[in-house]
Amino acid sequence: MLSFIFDRFNQALYGLKDNRRRTLLSVLGIAVGIAAVMAVGTISKGGNYLIFSELETFGLNSAWVFRDRGDKDPHRMVRTGSGIDNDDYLAVSSGCCPAVRRISAVLHGSIGKRIVIQAINRYSNAQVLGVDVSLTTIANDVVLQGRPFRARDIASRRAVAILGPTAAADLFGSASPIGRAFRIGNRKFITIGVLEEKSRDFLASIGSSGGQDANNRILIPYTTLQQMQGHKQISYLQAEAVTQAQANAAAEQIIAVLKRHNGRNYAYKSETMATYITTTARILDGVAMIGIIAASVSLLVGGMGIMNIMSTSVLERTREIGLRKAVGARQRDIMQQFLLEAVVISTLGGMIGLSLGTVASIVLAEVTGFPLAPSFTVIVIALVVSLAVGIISGYLPARRAARLHPVEALRYE
Amino acid sequence: MINLTAINKSYRVGELVLPVLRDVSLEVPAGEFVAIMGPSGSGKTTLLNIIGCLDSIDSGCYSLADEAVDRASDDDLARIRNQHIGFVFQLFNLIPRISALRNVELPMIYMGIPPVERRKRAMEALERMAIADRADHAPSQLSGGQQQRVAIARALVNTPELLVADEPTGSLDSNTGREIMLLFSELNQAGTTIVMVTHEEDIAAYAGRTIRLLDGVIAADDET
């Protein structure tokens, strides 16, 4: 059996050697097609991975609850404020929501007017956020130097701050910021911690970093910020659900409590990381599909190249086919011979395309900064697809060859 | 060996039906050497192709070596050609890009003989044709006579009972033609049945029997 396959393979190679240049072009056509499909696949996979890993740093179980200022709010024109205050926060954090593991109040600093943030003669344009103890844990923030907030920082409205790496660098340069002082407006704060750098390549690249560059934040106790702003409002609640699947349940439970408190005055809505991830994944899949369809066109062209070379080859070798039939080749032998030639071309193209595609993926990953996500599946698919292209495009010419009448084939000039 | 009864064969050219063979009956016992002659258009090549199982018949019966050729399937015909018949053509019909040896191997590939055995038998066939020293040459590197020797080696390599030759000396000079005919005579004496189309009387003279076709019917059938 093995020698039989080898034999047929050899026959196919003889056929191809005869048309070396045309064979090469067909091989190239398939190679480019496979490489293109593969590069698109790898890039979209890398992009997916990158986005997922960036979203992950927000905490996969995260849910955000805030006032819905849209149609759902019966008093949106009348009532101002965030619709959440300290009493509400106390209510939701006192164990009423089983799907919530931890929760933190978040209060935006400097809405509307700009507050100067200054350390001696250096300035920062960081966003000030008032938070509770658990926020760093919920948002997957790592306090790299110093310490996280403690309950007492919040309770006694201490003027302490944890800086994002950009804010820390802006205010203190390369010196260690721990224990150093700076001003937010006219209030003096002491730095107690610095956050680890978060990768935001992708989010920044699509412009979503806007007002929330995670590396350019200054976290302070929300109680302190409330004192500075002179109210007891909370901008939104950020919660961590017990599991990712329960993120929506957690948000609903929080909203239920808020409604019980203020339902007549305000409406609320929520967002969860889970829905963000699903949405992003769907968009990315769509983009990848378009890319793959575009790349498939070049595969199609490659397939037509094979069909062309096989048709010409059948025509040129009509007498040979007649002779082979005269010495005992059955239809299926001739069919096999020409199909095998097509398959050899396309598989060769597939393998070259695989190498080209790998190189292209590496280069693209380098250029775009996407992580390289090599995949065994892609390799298998590339080879299977090229094999299929060979069989499909070789089929018609091979069948024509197989059906030639021996006498007419032998007489062909 | 060959048993043709009331064979009819016509070709369709557009609307026209052109009869080529009309009620041809012919018996060739094993071991005979038959020459088929006749003017062009008389149907001699068609008759040869039918005998060689390359062409089908419209009506009549044909049995070759006790196989009913007229009722055989496509695959059966391929097998019959492969095992019972060797072909020699005027233009040799060697595959140009492969060596003489590989050309001779061809019928054995379709017989399913393993490569080592194949090579050995192809070499033996070339030796019998006294052309073994050119086994590695491509057809284009060989003279006409040498090519025809390779082609005969290929025709004989599966040890067929019947050799079918269509103007085997048609593209050779008379000396080389004579050599090929001496080879045929030897083969015939060794037991191979030969049916050969030719239009040269001196070539036909090597055969023991000459059939003359005229307008699709056998006009004469002479022992010589």
SS (H, E, C) B163-199: EEEECCCCCCCHHHHHHHHHHHHHHHHCCCEEEEECC
pLDDT band of residue B52 (cuts 50, 70, 90) is: very high
Tell me if chain A has a CB within 8 Å of the CB of B92: no
> What's the Cα-to-Cα distance from A196 to each of A66, A107, A165, A217, rounded to whole Å?
27, 21, 7, 11
Euclidean distance between CA atoms A405 and B77, whole angstroms: 12
- Element (DSSP H or E) covering residue B122: helix B115-128
Per-residue pLDDT tens over the stretch B158-204: 999 999 999 999 999 999 999 999 999 999 999 999 999 999 999 99
Q: What value does the mean pLDDT take over residues B213-219?
A: 93
Q: Which residues of chain A have pLDDT under 50?
A: 207-211
Q: Which domain holds residue B47?
A: 2-223
pLDDT of the residue at A210: 43
Kindly list the residues from chain A whose CB atom is less than 8 angstroms away from the CB atom of residue B83: 328
Kindly list the residues from chain B whose CB atom is less than 8 angstroms away from the CB atom of residue A410: 54, 89, 93
Kindly list the residues from chain B whose CB atom is less than 8 angstroms away from the CB atom of residue A326: 52, 54, 81, 87, 93
Tell me if chain A has a CB within 8 Å of the CB of B97: yes
- Element (DSSP H or E) covering residue B209: strand B209-214
pLDDT of the residue at A225: 93
**Which residue from B107, B114, B115 is facing A328, i.e. has the nearest CB?**
B107
Q: Which of residues 326-345 of A touch B (CB under 8 A)?
A: 326-333
Contact B154 A327 (CB under 8 A): yes
Kindly list the residues from chain A whose CB atom is less than 8 angstroms away from the CB atom of residue B112: 4
Tell me if chain B has a CB within 8 Å of the CB of A319: yes
Tell me if chain B has a CB within 8 Å of the CB of A125: no
Tell me if chain B has a CB within 8 Å of the CB of A324: yes
Two tokens, residue B79: 């097998």
3-class SS of residue B45: helix
Domain count, chain B: 1
Contact B95 A331 (CB under 8 A): no
> What's the Cα-to-Cα distance from A198 to each of A56, A130, A167, B176, rounded to whole Å?
11, 19, 13, 89
pLDDT of the residue at A311: 86
Q: At a CB cut-off of 8 Å and minimum separation 6, what does A163 contact?
A: A126, A171, A177, A191, A193, A194, A195, A217, A218, A219
pLDDT of the residue at A220: 95
Contact A407 B98 (CB under 8 A): no
Tell me if chain B has a CB within 8 Å of the CB of A282: no
Euclidean distance between CA atoms A142 and A193, whole angstroms: 10
> What's the Cα-to-Cα distance from B50 to each of A33, A128, A200, B60, B77, rounded to whole Å?
48, 98, 80, 12, 11
Q: At a CB cut-off of 8 Å and minimum separation 6, what does B191 contact?
A: B30, B31
Hey, which bits of B14-155 come out as E strands?
Answer: 16-28, 33-37, 59-64, 67-68, 85-88
**Which residue from B82, B93, B115 is facing A328, i.e. has the nearest CB?**
B82
Place of tokens 């060797």: B86
β-bridge pairing B67-68 and B162-166: unpaired
Q: How many CB atoms lie within 10 A of CB B110?
A: 20
pLDDT of the residue at A357: 86
Answer for the pair A57, A138: CB distance below 8 angstroms, yes or no: no
Answer for the pair B96, B147: CB distance below 8 angstroms, yes or no: no
Kindly list the residues from chain A whose CB atom is less than 8 angstroms away from the CB atom of residue B81: 325-328
Sheet holding B209-214, edge to edge: B85-88, B162-166, B193-197, B33-37, B209-214, B217-223
Kindly list the residues from chain B whose CB atom is less than 8 angstroms away from the CB atom of residue A407: 49, 54-55
Answer for the pair A194, A150: CB distance below 8 angstroms, yes or no: no
Q: Which residue of B has its CA nearest to A332?
A: B75
Is the pLDDT at B39 greater than 80? The verdict is yes
Q: What value does the mean pLDDT take over residues B129-157?
A: 94
**Which residue from B54, B83, B93 is facing A407, i.e. has the nearest CB?**
B54
Q: What value does the mean pLDDT take over residues B213-221?
A: 93
Residue A12, min C-alpha distance to chain B (Å)? 12
Per-residue pLDDT tens over the stretch A262-273: 877 888 989 888
Tell me if chain A has a CB within 8 Å of the CB of B159: no
pLDDT of the residue at A209: 42
CA atoms within 13 A on the CB side of A49: 14
Tell me if chain A has a CB within 8 Å of the CB of B78: yes
Kindly list the residues from chain B whose CB atom is less than 8 angstroms away from the CB atom of residue A332: 75
CATH number of the domain that B59 lies in? 3.40.50.300
Q: How many CB pairs under 8 A join A and B?
A: 64
ipTM value = 0.94
Mean pLDDT, chain B, whole residue set: 93
Residue A327, min C-alpha distance to chain B (Å)? 5
Residue B51, min C-alpha distance to chain A (Å)? 12
> What's the Cα-to-Cα distance from A63 to each of A103, A275, B172, rounded to whole Å?
9, 10, 93
Place of tokens 């390359």: B54
pLDDT of the residue at A201: 58
Kindly list the residues from chain B whose CB atom is less than 8 angstroms away from the CB atom of residue A408: none
Q: Which residue of A has its CA nearest to B75?
A: A330
pLDDT of the residue at A381: 79
